[in-house]
């Protein structure tokens, strides 16, 4: 029990870690999901994932909640590795007075943001782009999932550069543009810590806040927050090789903040 407590303490105390590639190849491919946007600072062209869950509500991570100004949807493919901005009709500014977030370790990293209507169309993001349903029940270990993200793609900062695995097939068009990876939900909730999910879908730097979507139900089961597929957390039973996130069903404060946003509070 003493060893378990020490390990859990290390996991929960960790900040947002660099995300990683699972397995021997980078299997990310370009994606075009209008419901998942890129949360950025004004003038920047890389940031975090932000997923529409209602007409004006998005979820992401706490690390990105305090200093980001807007969410871009329908982000164009990058050109020669240079990230491109969305059209003005697809840009929605964050109402920072309504931001609710938690900036902790694994399972305690989340944010709920409210978006103003678009300045050109005067319409809410979810009414134009659509939005995802959130899982109401815990998923099962082994369920197929996908992770839609806006991440570094020219090479993986920790694996490809070292020659451990080959680079992505679409580096120059996918770099900080939308991309998707597929895998399985390794843990739908960790023993005594239902807030944490673990998965083995490929991610990279910038994939923070990306939705983890159950392929069976097409519902968001969590948000990606921490890497681990190439990082070793040594425990008595061996090493963990998974990426991690915050569960939308197991994190009670997260659920409460989501409900408040969706109800207009």
Instruction: Provide the whole-model pTM.
Output: 0.88
Distance between terminal CA atoms of the chain? 42
Q: What is the pLDDT, as a whole number, of residue 14?
A: 41
Range from 125-134, 197-206, 231-240 carrying the lowest mean pLDDT: 231-240
- pLDDT at residue 164, as a whole number: 56
On whether the CB atoms of residues 38 and 71 are closer than 8 A, the answer is yes
User: What's the confidence (pLDDT) of residue 130?
Assistant: 98
Per-residue confidence at 205, pLDDT binned at 50, 70, 90? Answer: confident
Q: What is the pLDDT of residues 2-42, one digit of tens each?
A: 433 333 333 333 444 444 788 777 889 999 999 999 999 99
176 Rama sector, left if φ>0, alpha if ψ -120 to 50, beta otherwise: left
Residue indicated by tokens 């425990």: 235
- At 44, the pLDDT band (50, 70, 90 cuts) reads confident
Flag whether pLDDT at 62 surpasses 90.
yes
Least confident of 23-27, 88-92, 141-145, 162-166: 162-166
Q: Specify the pLDDT at position 38.
A: 97
Work out the burial of residue 180: count CB atoms within 10 Å of its CB; fewer than 13 is exposed, 13-18 middle, 19 or more buried.
buried
């Amino acid at each position: 029990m003493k060893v378990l407590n020490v390990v859990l303490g290390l996991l929960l105390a960790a900040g947002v870690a660099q995300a990683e590639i699972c397995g021997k190849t980078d299997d990310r491919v370009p994606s075009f999901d209008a419901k998942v946007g890129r949360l950025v600072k004004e003038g920047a062209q890389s940031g975090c994932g932000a997923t529409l869950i209602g007409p004006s509500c998005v979820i992401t991570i706490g690390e990105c909640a305090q200093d980001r100004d807007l969410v871009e949807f329908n982000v164009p493919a990058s050109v020669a590795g240079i990230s491109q901005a969305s059209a003005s009709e697809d840009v929605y500014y964050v109402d920072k007075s309504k931001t609710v977030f938690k900036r902790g370790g694994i399972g305690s990293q989340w944010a709920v943001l409210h978006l103003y209507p678009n300045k050109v169309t005067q319409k809410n993001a979810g009414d134009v782009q659509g939005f995802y349903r959130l899982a109401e029940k815990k998923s099962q270990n082994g369920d197929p999932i996908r992770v839609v993200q806006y991440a570094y793609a020219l090479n993986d900062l920790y694996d490809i550069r070292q020659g451990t695995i080959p680079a992505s097939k679409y580096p120059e068009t996918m770099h900080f543009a939308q991309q998707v990876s597929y895998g399985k939900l390794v843990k739908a909730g960790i023993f005594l810590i239902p807030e944490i999910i673990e998965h083995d879908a490929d991610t990279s730097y910038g994939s923070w806040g990306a939705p983890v979507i159950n392929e069976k139900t097409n519902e968001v089961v969590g948000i990606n927050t921490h890497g681990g597929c190439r990082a070793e957390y040594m425990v008595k039973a061996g090493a963990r090789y998974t990426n991690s996130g915050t569960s939308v069903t197991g994190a009670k404060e997260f659920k409460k903040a989501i409900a408040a946003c969706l109800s207009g509070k």
